[in-house]
Chains A and B, each alone.
Chain A
């Protein structure tokens, strides 16, 4: 592949501009073995040739003193012409003054007279051609074609270079993102979107022009800036926003900014911008703040998260995950009776102590590890149901969580049935909670899976109903048995009339559809009374009990 670029691959063209025939001939003989050589006796003839030839010259060897048009004049003509300015020119001179003047006019190198040995001349020509060809490739790829800003890979490489040369200086990594950019594209078309990006590139370049800066269009609507450390960016951000507000055409454009200020860690360039980006993501959709700094806290959070992710396998293996049971009371009778439970996971970390599920569940949901955790909980819960049956002689149905991602596991049904069989418990004793939001993603698949499970006798509970974009359609489409109202409803049921009526409505719809209604998060007597009056069947919450370890739950069971 590479020999195409080497000298033998393509016969490049060299133009020798020199009025002395002897000098021309000597250079020509040296170069014509490797190159196609063209000759001109003065600057004017050379200029005409350059303009007429279809093919470009890879190099021009230029004498200074010539009749008609001298070397300086030709050099000037070429360097101010967009089309020819990148052709390298080696000036044939040994005069010090001529060298200085030529360099200022853009000469690439010199060959002195009397000439060096042929090998030296050859090597000089080769080197300059290679250098200019490489530069040309860099020029054509280093910038983003739309905005003229640096492309990502070059941006990182240039930063590495800057840091190698100027180590120890304080610099900042900044990520800028356009709020709702996809909307601009949707509403006004891609051309308008492109115009906005171009405008932003221009504005950023202007606003950072007074300090040492390099700017890159990272991807679609994300820009990265690397610049000398600044104590305060608020003035610059105001200028940017003011300029954005002046733009005509589309709606108001808002940007959000994440700054990783003078990161002295050993982190790679990419990581430093990742950190700036994580700061930037923190103010996504926040209309009161559009700038955030990456801090040690964020770093600690990231490291902490990473540690939790890495430790899940071991923790399952070591039994660090324990399952707690929150009592669920049936309130339809005269007095509340403990009849069932919800299994909730707890992480007892040997070093960090109790870790809240709020910390690790979202993390594991994001990367799919939640599947392992769910399976573990199902397995524990099934064993527990069996144990209580044996010890106390009571069947206590336990609800377990089925995450969105579990739905896609082709072995889900088989695994659950296996647990029932192993522990000799009934399908309706292991109740499956599916969160409302699972319905919105791939409803067909979900319905198929749930219908199958239902057919095997499992009870299906709709969890967190009312927390997201609830759909009444979902209530009829899904073969559910139980509706679990989101905690938010219970919280407000004593606070305002509207919420109270909404809860009443939900309960009556559920009743109408023959569903059991469970209220979560009940903390006060008043809430309990209202819910009972409305016909709610089951409640759980701190009013009765927090989630308990199995032994304590057992004690409660024994009391009846």
Chain B
């Protein structure tokens, strides 16, 4: 089970995340694994693989919302970056961007185990 300290060391803004969950730590912490296992991570990887910009945008956008709500700052910043690039359909190296995002996710996941 992940702790607030773990999240802080990850770079999350736990103060804000907790406030959004009405200060209830248990609730907040319960949501972290849900965010980590969000199917949109996989959707993003698949659609980037296929070069489907629209599907990629939708997945990144959804992740951005979830990470933002939990104030998982590094994940939020990265998913925001990807979302904004995709919104403008900018030519970018989405595969490596996605890889960076997944690495962060995995780092957080290891803290949960």
Contact = CB atoms under 8 A, between A and B. Distances in A.
Interface stretch (A17-25, A242-250, A413-421): A17-25
B45 to A, nearest CB: 17
Contacts of A30: 22
Interface in A114-135: 114-115, 117-118
B31 A26 contact: yes
Interface stretch (B4-12, B64-72, B97-105): B64-72
A413 B94 CA distance: 110
Contacts of A113: 64-65, 68-69
Interface in B10-63: 19-22, 24, 27, 31, 34-35, 38, 58, 61-62
Interface residues of A, number: 15
A25 B71 CA distance: 15
A29 interface: yes
A118 B87 CA distance: 29
Contacts of B62: 19-20, 65
A25 B61 CA distance: 18
A382 to B, nearest CB: 91
Contact of A29 (B21, B65, B76): B21
Given A29-B21, A29-B24, A115 B69 contact: yes
A361 B84 CA distance: 87
B57 to A, nearest CB: 9
Nearest to B33: A22
A114 B19 CA distance: 12
B20 A25 contact: no
B61 to A, nearest CB: 6
Contacts of B35: 22
Residue in A20, A115, A117 whose Cβ sees the most chain B Cβ within 10 Å: A20
Contacts of A26: 20-21, 31, 69
Given A20-B62, A65-B58, A65-B61, A114 B22 contact: no
Interface string A162-186: 0000000000000000000000000
Looking at chain B's contact residues, is the secondary structure mostly helix, strand, loop, or mixed? Answer: helix
B58 A23 contact: no
A22 B71 CA distance: 12
A19 B38 CA distance: 11
B68 to A, nearest CB: 3
Contacts of A65: 58, 61-62
A247 to B, nearest CB: 59
Residue in A26, A114, A115, A117 whose Cβ sees the most chain B Cβ within 10 Å: A114
A117 B76 CA distance: 18
A93 to B, nearest CB: 9
A117 B19 CA distance: 7
Contacts of A23: 65-66, 69
A114 B66 CA distance: 8
A22 B22 contact: no
Contacts of B58: 65
A29 B69 contact: no
A117 B23 CA distance: 11
Contacts of A115: 20, 69
A22 B66 contact: yes
Given A114-B68, A114-B69, A114-B71, A22 B21 contact: no
A29 B26 CA distance: 12
Nearest to A20: B66
Nearest to B16: A114
A530 B70 CA distance: 113
A115 B20 CA distance: 7
A25 B58 CA distance: 20
Contacts of A114: 20, 65, 68-69, 71, 76
Contact of A117 (B20, B27, B61, B70): B20
A65 B62 CA distance: 8
A383 to B, nearest CB: 91
Contacts of B19: 117-118
Contacts of A118: 19-20, 22
A114 B75 CA distance: 13
Nearest to B32: A22
Contacts of B69: 22-23, 26, 113-115
Contacts of B24: 29
Given A19-B62, A114-B71, A29 B22 contact: yes
Interface of B: 19-22, 24, 27, 31, 34-35, 38, 58, 61-62, 64-66, 68-71, 76
Given A22-B66, A23-B69, A115-B69, 13 more contacts: A20-B38, A22-B34, A22-B38, A23-B65, A26-B20, A26-B21, A26-B31, A26-B69, A29-B24, A65-B62, A114-B71, A115-B20, A118-B19
Interface of A: 19-23, 25-26, 29-30, 65, 113-115, 117-118
12 contacts: A21-B34, A22-B34, A22-B69, A23-B65, A23-B66, A26-B21, A30-B22, A114-B20, A114-B65, A114-B69, A115-B69, A118-B22
The 9 closest A-B pairs by CB, nearest first: A114-B68, A113-B65, A22-B66, A114-B69, A22-B31, A118-B22, A20-B66, A22-B34, A22-B35
